[in-house]
Structure 1
Amino acid sequence: EGPPGKTFEIVIQLGAILAVCVVYWHKLWGVTTTLTDPRSVAFVRNVLLAFLPAAVIGATAYKYIKQMLDSPLVAAIALVVGGFAILIIEKMVKRARIHEVEDLSPAMSLAIGFCQVLAMVPGVSRAGATIMGSMLLGVERRTAAEFSFFLAIPTMTGATVYSLYKNWSTLSFDGSALIAVGFAAAFLSALVVVKTFIAFISRHGFAPFAYYRIGFGALMLVLILTSR
């Protein structure tokens, strides 16, 4: 991928981060302006603890994980396995005990963070891994989804900062109009996705996403195996 492509990728990530911040502006602003409040402290602590495993493992081992597992076959298998995992977890979890991000314990937050590390495997959804991990720990469905979005802010910001650091000398803003369009498209699409996703899963759960993953993964497997 050349410099313009890397610049485009970074700008798109920034658009998605901004969209999450806009959707949850009132919550984030409330936490920021009451940092001495125990509930705000708990919120920040839980998000940072959940971010920690991906930050450490991503910085030290992501390149090796990608080298070992980066293949269409692994992605296809992960799609199918992940789809069945979602269906099983939806059936298993009957009653939620935790309805606010602030009520997560430090150990729970770390555990959810390790679930996020699974997204380094091709075909594993970052949001799916963290939401299902949260639900297994007794977090209510909507809260689990919102925590996943809150967790995306430091995770995507960290990835973007790291990418800027690694590629600063080669970044190119040739085609700035296209880059601006990409930023706007990423921002608007992420804005719509975040808002509609929460409403959708509150009504219908995660089963539709599970069936999509299973179907798409199975199709990939057929294409991979028949092309050999």
Structure 2
Amino acid sequence: MDISMILKAIILGIVEGLTEFAPVSSTGHMIIVDDMWLQSEQFLTKYVANTFKIVIQLGSILAVIVVFKDRFIDLLGFNKFHKENIQIERRLRLSQVIVGLLPAAGLGVLFEDYIDEHLFSITTVLIGLVVGAVLMILADRVSSKEPMIQTVDQITFKQALFVGCIQCLSLWPGFSRSGSTISGGVLLGMSHRAAADFTFIMAVPIMVGASGLSLLKNWQYFTFEAIPFFIAGFISAFVFALLSIRFFLKLINRIKLVPFAVYRIILAFVICIIYF
């Protein structure tokens, strides 16, 4: 494999890392770079290209785990220094995460084949980008200057379930998991940061599960020729997702969702120009 392929893997990883957890739709961005590069390489069959996308997504997931490592240690009960009353509180928060991820996980399992066959098109992604942007603008319009819920620890079971239901919108390609769930949280009275924290924490188990199953189905495509391409993309996605998440979490309470919504509309316009 020549150096140009490694550079392409790095650039694709950068795109994935910067967009997977920002509310801008990684799918919309990957459509553009996929058509420009992945389809132009002879050794990258459809199945190898799809496996590469799974690998770089895992790089982004690892970045979330690193950023929220202390939170995950608490959620899983690995912190031996907690007192009993804090352990009870921790178990409740873990239950809230489970409640939040169940709706989208259930629908994803039931309709996975239908989504893959019928919803992954330029038109459906454009719809997801624009409608998702409208939802984000609406969330910012009705958000309170002093949200009732300032931290993720204040989220109730009912609110976690509602955010989980809103997350089902992200099954529509282009809608964006973080865009839908942060908007849902803000509509419920959460601060943008609390909604973002809950979104990222909730995304890990569902994405690890989905990506893990996909890897098992595509394990045979980890050929000697493809592995350097996969490794370069994985590392690139991890590094830039790490930077992107930290930057996003520092700014989200200040800039909120409207700038991302405007960007999504511009992206939809660019995709229209390219493909139509």
* TM-score range normalised by the length of the shorter chain: 0.7 to 0.9
Work out which of the residue numbers 57, 81, 86 in structure 1 matches 2:107.
57
TM-score (norm 1): 0.88
Identity of aligned residues (%): 34
Work out which of the residue numbers 162, 169, 188 in structure 2 matches 1:111.
162
Q: Deviations over 1:157-189 (max 9, x none)?
A: 011121023223554353322222111101101
1:203 matched to 2:254? The reply is yes
TM-superposed CA distance for 1:41, in Å, is 0.8
State the one-letter code of the partner of 1:114: C
Match in the other structure for 1:33: 78
Q: How many residues align?
A: 225
Unpaired runs of 5+ residues, structure 1, are none
Does 129-138 or 198-207 show the bigger shift?
A: 198-207
Task: Give distance in 1, aligned partners of 2:124 and 2:169.
Answer: 13
Work out which of the residue numbers 239, 243, 246 in structure 2 matches 1:192.
243
- Alpha-carbon contact 1:4-1:174 (below 8 Å) kept: no
TM-superposed CA distance for 1:83, in Å, is 1.5
Q: Deviations over 1:60-111 (max 9, x none)?
A: 1122134343332222222222212211210101142122323222222122
Does 57-66 or 120-129 show the bigger shift?
A: 57-66
Match in the other structure for 2:182: 131
Match in the other structure for 2:10: none
For residues 161 and 44 of structure 1, do their structure 2 counterparts lie closer, same or farther at Cα, with a shift above 3 Å needed?
A: same
> SS of 1:196's equivalent?
helix
State the one-letter code of the partner of 2:139: I
Task: Give distance in 2, aligned partners of 1:7 and 1:146.
Answer: 28
1:87 matched to 2:137? The reply is yes
TM-score (norm 2): 0.74
RMSD, aligned CA: 2.2
State the one-letter code of the partner of 1:28: F
TM-superposed CA distance for 1:141, in Å, is 0.9
